Amino acid sequence: MPSAPADAGAVRRRVVVHGRVQGVWFRGATAERAREIGVAGWVRNRADGTVEAVIEGAPGAVETLVRFVHRGPPAARVERVECHDEGPPEGLLGFRVR
């Protein structure tokens, strides 16, 4: 994914979402919401049945997307979310499904 110089106020978070989160349009809904609020990063399914995402952007916007993944789209059943700060943002551009 292309990157740009990171905004000085930007943050980077990695989330791993557990529960019924694959096969329920979780990645698509997360990417759609990310684009609406203007954060960058990516989201992917993992082999263990979880969904992982990296999110970069303004702190408030990143937290908005983190709150979204705690519930996900209507068909999802989120049981647990791990969320970690990842240090300085890489300056990712756009948000994509991997």
What's the CA gap between 10 and 61, in Å, rounded? 10
The answer for residues whose C-beta is within 8 angstroms of residue 23's C-beta and 6 or more apart is: none
CATH of 11-91, one of 3.30.70.100, 3.30.450.20, 3.20.20.60, 3.40.47.10: 3.30.70.100
Give the distance from CA 89 to its chain's centroid: 13
Q: Please state the domain extents for the chain.
A: 11-91
pTM greater than 0.85: yes
Give me 24's structure tokens. 């329920």
DSSP 50: -
Q: Kindly report, residue by residue over 52-81, the tens digit of the pLDDT.
A: 999 999 999 999 999 999 999 999 999 999
In this prediction, residue 7 has a pLDDT band, given cuts at 50, 70 and 90, of low
Cα–Cα dist 27/21, whole Å: 8
The predicted-structure confidence for 12-43, as pLDDT tens digits, reads as follows: 999 999 999 999 999 999 999 999 999 999 99
Q: How far is CA 23 from CA 16, 17, 18, 76, 89, in A?
A: 16, 13, 13, 9, 29
What residues act catalytically? 27, 45
Alpha carbon distance 21, 24 (integer Å): 6
pLDDT band at 89 (very low <50, low <70, confident <90, very high): very high
